[in-house]
Chain A
């Protein structure tokens, strides 16, 4: 018995002596196969295993070299050439070169690729979303992928795009080892496989529903990891992530609720970390509604809601309200002709409503989300606050909600919702990723408003080569969408994260996740 206890003690001590970094994730990754994911936690884990062609500078959405050291476009942005980093190897020892990059891009984009495993359920839907479609589709951005030489790849486009490098920098598109994909076949990316990239951490194990364990890549071409092991735990419940942080069983975590801020700040062992805002929570107003199709009604509604007060009350200082659909980091694309903040003036709003022919107001439905998101962490009380503001000008609001999957479906089904809460978190640092998601030809059909000039401007924005040229285009879009008031931005929130006080070197990205190779845990017991 004594021997048994001694063995137990020794194994505990030896296990504890290694520097293990433990992250509390908000769930389990759906898949570790790059190109075939859309959820945040899969991206976060993949960012540790894979590198993307182009990367983001720490804490920003500015681009920096990744597996490509240089990327250049032709004169009209219809072909992008990527020069690849030499001497980089995948974790399985195979070479990262033009063939490997083309293998990855092709299996995402070409529906007939033999290693796309589409007959076994692969969908790669994010490619359709961010790159307009797949090989042969009339809407597809990519026309062809060409090997120029061993370390140069050219991507030819069907239409001009200045954002291709930004899109390929998004965490969805890590470059995986073709050897590993061929070896694991359709199991690649599942817990029964071994995902292989070139990133700072090497996959070790995935215990379903529980954790993913990674080891440092000692041969990493960039900044090497500073811990001996990285464990990413699946802790779905936000209050439980906070409990685990307080108990010291995890070192850092994302996506805590704004009302946890005081609790984190009151704990001397914890440090509150405000992730830079890269989202927008907004109200959508449906043009099919007899009242909302009136410009003055929508403007009156916008003016009657005290957005600043709502942001203060429900985000605990972790959210700002302004008159832009774009988060603050993209403020360069805002127009100076649009006021920085929405005017809150219930009296003027009431008068505007009377001018529109509704002096006694009217009754309308407001749908609120049944789930919590960083842009609307507590949708119901926020909806109640909006309803209270609108009742002050005579608009009676009926609050409604339903199951999330049905909510997402019904908003696009005619006649849709009168008015509903929704939001967006960006994938990469270009205004197109925000405006393009909710305006124009590729957007939701929820507001029944898609004027030709908006689509034209979106196309121009995608083609514009410089930030100055883009700014000119998006400033016009800002003015048009602000005056139209079909989508009323309510907040840009700073998702709350927290870490134990000994965690050093963590620079949260606005995009929601970042590689953890910069983090160390000196003094962790």
Chain B
């Protein structure tokens, strides 16, 4: 297990290095100039050229014959090794500081969305499999189809307007009511509020989480429900399940003890894959719900061509996806005793 972990971590490191190079080249290859984007409507060629020089963007990408280290990538990678992701071109805020404050917001939302997906999607999938071709099955299938096909931005706006404005029972957007302020500890508002003894603020943070979590969780929910259904159907038709039933076990015991555990493997794989999808989906959800996370931050940086932020955001997101997938791989061993890592 130990050597497996070391191998995986070493591979992750190589992947990160590769990604740093790809994202470095990619952001500089897309048309549009950060200096022009910073100057906006007032950008003249002369002003943009002067600003480009100030920002060091006029230097060669990889190799400067006059001074080999005075090029953009060597400087970037040297700083990266030291843990310095640079500073936002416009804001001058260290990218790492922004990551520290924004990642917990995205993580909190993603966890909530995943909970929505699991709490609703798995029982729906199980029910659909157990009551195949019944009204429950049709209902679960229809909801999955809706979840997968409904655009997140549209669902988000609909939820916000209906529950936030029309019914007025949940906040339309934001992460915390303005009557509260929670000094960050972990960055997870609900947790921090509880740790700091602010139960009212914790409840308010939960209320703010509900709508964006439903919007972000809609697609994973649908996928989890469908995979659970098909996986359960597959397992329920296995010989060992028939044997369990023949032994006279109750249907509940057959389902929960024998079928469900084996049916969970593909679901866990899907959850791992959804971690990346959640980070991607967060871009839209966070923008609609004014959620101060990574998604809206990187999205703004892309439109502004803020290279250090795009690079830092992408590398960090890749790291998160790698780690989540590693955890998923490790969880296989816990779910299936036949799987061992060495």
Query: Which residues of A come within 8 Å of B, CB atoms?
Result: 4-5, 7-9, 11-12, 15-16, 20, 22, 27-28, 30-31, 33, 36, 38, 117-118, 120-123, 125, 128-129, 186, 189-192, 205, 207-211, 213, 231, 233-237, 239-240, 243-244, 246-247, 249-250, 402-406, 408-410, 412, 422-424, 437, 442-445
Write out the residue numbers on chain A whose beta carbons fall within 8 Å of the beta carbon of B287. Answer: 236-237
B264-291 interface with A by 8 A CB criterion: 287-291
B172 touches A208 (CB 8 A): no
A189 touches B303 (CB 8 A): no
B178 touches A20 (CB 8 A): yes
- Given B47, B168, B296, which contacts A129 in the complex, CB threshold below 8 Å? B47
Closest residue of A by beta carbon distance from B297: A209
B98 touches A208 (CB 8 A): yes
* Smallest CB-CB A-B distances: 8 pairs: A209-B292, A405-B32, A8-B200, A15-B179, A405-B37, A208-B101, A243-B172, A406-B32
Q: Please give the distance in Å from A115's CB to the nearest CB on chain B.
A: 14
B37 touches A233 (CB 8 A): no
Closest residue of B by beta carbon distance from A14: B179
**Bound form: Cα–Cα A246–B167 in Å:** 11
Closest residue of A by beta carbon distance from B92: A121
Closest residue of B by beta carbon distance from A407: B32
B55 touches A9 (CB 8 A): no
A237 touches B41 (CB 8 A): no
**Bound form: Cα–Cα A189–B199 in Å:** 32
B178 touches A243 (CB 8 A): no
**Bound form: Cα–Cα A246–B199 in Å:** 27
Q: Please give the distance in Å from B335's CB to the nearest CB on chain A.
A: 36
**Bound form: Cα–Cα A244–B34 in Å:** 32
A243 touches B92 (CB 8 A): no
Task: Please name 15 pairs of A and B residues whose Cβ atoms are closer than 8 Å in the assembled complex, sorted by A.
Answer: A8-B203, A15-B200, A16-B179, A20-B178, A31-B93, A123-B54, A190-B93, A235-B290, A247-B165, A249-B172, A249-B177, A249-B178, A403-B32, A403-B303, A408-B37
B144 contacts A by Cβ under 8 Å: no
Known A-B contacts A235-B290, A404-B303, A443-B44; the reply to A244 vs B172 at CB < 8 A is yes
Closest residue of A by beta carbon distance from B105: A209
A125 touches B38 (CB 8 A): yes
B258 contacts A by Cβ under 8 Å: no
Q: Please give the distance in Å from B106's CB to the nearest CB on chain A.
A: 10
- Given A38, A233, A424, which contacts B38 in the complex, CB threshold below 8 Å? A38
B178 touches A125 (CB 8 A): no
Write out the residue numbers on chain B whose beta carbons fall within 8 Å of the beta carbon of A33. Answer: 92
B173 contacts A by Cβ under 8 Å: yes
**Bound form: Cα–Cα A244–B292 in Å:** 16
Write out the residue numbers on chain A whose beta carbons fall within 8 Å of the beta carbon of B93. Answer: 31, 190-192
* Most chain A beta-carbon neighbours within 10 Å: one of B33, B173, B201: B173
How many cross-chain pairs have Cβ atoms below 8 Å apart between A and B?
Answer: 188
Write out the residue numbers on chain A whose beta carbons fall within 8 Å of the beta carbon of B37. Answer: 404-405, 408
For B194-223 the 0/1 string (1 means CB < 8 A from A) is 000111110100000000000000000000
A11 touches B198 (CB 8 A): yes
For B148-179 the 0/1 string (1 means CB < 8 A from A) is 00000000010011001100100111111111
Q: Please give the distance in Å from B268's CB to the nearest CB on chain A.
A: 32
Known: A128-B51, A233-B290. 13 other contacts (CB 8 A): A11-B200, A15-B180, A22-B178, A38-B42, A189-B92, A208-B98, A210-B174, A213-B181, A234-B290, A240-B160, A249-B172, A249-B177, A408-B41
Q: Please give the distance in Å from A335's CB to the nearest CB on chain B.
A: 25
Q: Which of B64-72, B83-91, B135-143, B313-321 contacts A (4 or more CB under 8 A)?
A: B83-91
Query: Which residues of B come within 8 Å of A, CB atoms?
Result: 31-34, 36-48, 50-51, 54-55, 87, 89-94, 97-98, 101-102, 105, 157, 160-161, 164-165, 168, 171-181, 197-201, 203, 287-293, 296-297, 300, 303-305
Closest residue of B by beta carbon distance from A244: B172
Closest residue of B by beta carbon distance from A9: B200
B293 touches A209 (CB 8 A): yes
A31 touches B43 (CB 8 A): no
Known A-B contacts A38-B38, A247-B164; the reply to A412 vs B43 at CB < 8 A is yes
Write out the residue numbers on chain B whose beta carbons fall within 8 Å of the beta carbon of A235. Answer: 173-174, 290
Write out the residue numbers on chain A whose beta carbons fall within 8 Å of the beta carbon of B91. Answer: 30-31, 190
Write out the residue numbers on chain B whose beta carbons fall within 8 Å of the beta carbon of A240. Answer: 160, 172-173, 288-290
B51 touches A125 (CB 8 A): yes
**Bound form: Cα–Cα A22–B39 in Å:** 29
Known A-B contacts A125-B38, A209-B101, A249-B171; the reply to A4 vs B199 at CB < 8 A is yes
Write out the residue numbers on chain A whose beta carbons fall within 8 Å of the beta carbon of B171. Answer: 247, 249
**Bound form: Cα–Cα A419–B50 in Å:** 27
B288 touches A237 (CB 8 A): yes
Write out the residue numbers on chain A whose beta carbons fall within 8 Å of the beta carbon of B201. Answer: 11
Closest residue of A by beta carbon distance from B86: A121
Closest residue of A by beta carbon distance from B160: A243
B32 touches A409 (CB 8 A): yes
Write out the residue numbers on chain A whose beta carbons fall within 8 Å of the beta carbon of B161. Answer: 243
A405 touches B290 (CB 8 A): no
Closest residue of B by beta carbon distance from A7: B199
Known A-B contacts A123-B55, A129-B42, A423-B41; the reply to A408 vs B292 at CB < 8 A is no
Write out the residue numbers on chain A whose beta carbons fall within 8 Å of the beta carbon of B304. Answer: 405
Known A-B contacts A15-B180, A213-B181; the reply to A128 vs B288 at CB < 8 A is no
B40 touches A38 (CB 8 A): yes
B32 touches A424 (CB 8 A): no
Closest residue of B by beta carbon distance from A248: B168
B178 touches A233 (CB 8 A): yes
Q: Please give the distance in Å from B104's CB to the nearest CB on chain A.
A: 10
Q: Please give the distance in Å from B170's CB to the nearest CB on chain A.
A: 9
**Bound form: Cα–Cα A245–B305 in Å:** 32
- Given B47, B94, B173, which contacts A128 in the complex, CB threshold below 8 Å? B47
B172 touches A422 (CB 8 A): no
B290 touches A236 (CB 8 A): yes
**Bound form: Cα–Cα A71–B273 in Å:** 65
**Bound form: Cα–Cα A237–B178 in Å:** 18
Q: Please give the distance in Å from B308's CB to the nearest CB on chain A.
A: 9
**Bound form: Cα–Cα A28–B172 in Å:** 18
A20 touches B179 (CB 8 A): yes
**Bound form: Cα–Cα A190–B93 in Å:** 6
Write out the residue numbers on chain B whose beta carbons fall within 8 Å of the beta carbon of A121. Answer: 55, 87, 89, 92
Write out the residue numbers on chain A whose beta carbons fall within 8 Å of the beta carbon of B45. Answer: 412, 445
Write out the residue numbers on chain A whose beta carbons fall within 8 Å of the beta carbon of B38. Answer: 38, 123, 125
Write out the residue numbers on chain A whose beta carbons fall within 8 Å of the beta carbon of B94. Answer: 190
**Bound form: Cα–Cα A123–B152 in Å:** 38
Write out the residue numbers on chain B whose beta carbons fall within 8 Å of the beta carbon of A211. Answer: 178
**Bound form: Cα–Cα A136–B135 in Å:** 80
Closest residue of A by beta carbon distance from B90: A30
Write out the residue numbers on chain A whose beta carbons fall within 8 Å of the beta carbon of B55. Answer: 121, 123
B41 touches A422 (CB 8 A): yes
Q: Please give the distance in Å from B49's CB to the nearest CB on chain A.
A: 11
B157 touches A239 (CB 8 A): yes
Q: Please give the distance in Å from A68's CB to the nearest CB on chain B.
A: 26
Q: Please give the distance in Å from A64's CB to the nearest CB on chain B.
A: 26
Write out the residue numbers on chain A whose beta carbons fall within 8 Å of the beta carbon of B297. Answer: 209
- Given A11, A208, A404, which contacts B292 in the complex, CB threshold below 8 Å? A208
B293 touches A243 (CB 8 A): no
B40 touches A409 (CB 8 A): no
B174 touches A249 (CB 8 A): yes
**Bound form: Cα–Cα A123–B160 in Å:** 39
Write out the residue numbers on chain A whose beta carbons fall within 8 Å of the beta carbon of B289. Answer: 240
Write out the residue numbers on chain B whose beta carbons fall within 8 Å of the beta carbon of A233. Answer: 174, 178, 290
Known A-B contacts A190-B91, A208-B292, A209-B293; the reply to A129 vs B33 at CB < 8 A is no
Write out the residue numbers on chain A whose beta carbons fall within 8 Å of the beta carbon of B89. Answer: 121
**Bound form: Cα–Cα A250–B305 in Å:** 31
Closest residue of B by beta carbon distance from A412: B45
Q: Please give the distance in Å from B28's CB to the nearest CB on chain A.
A: 13
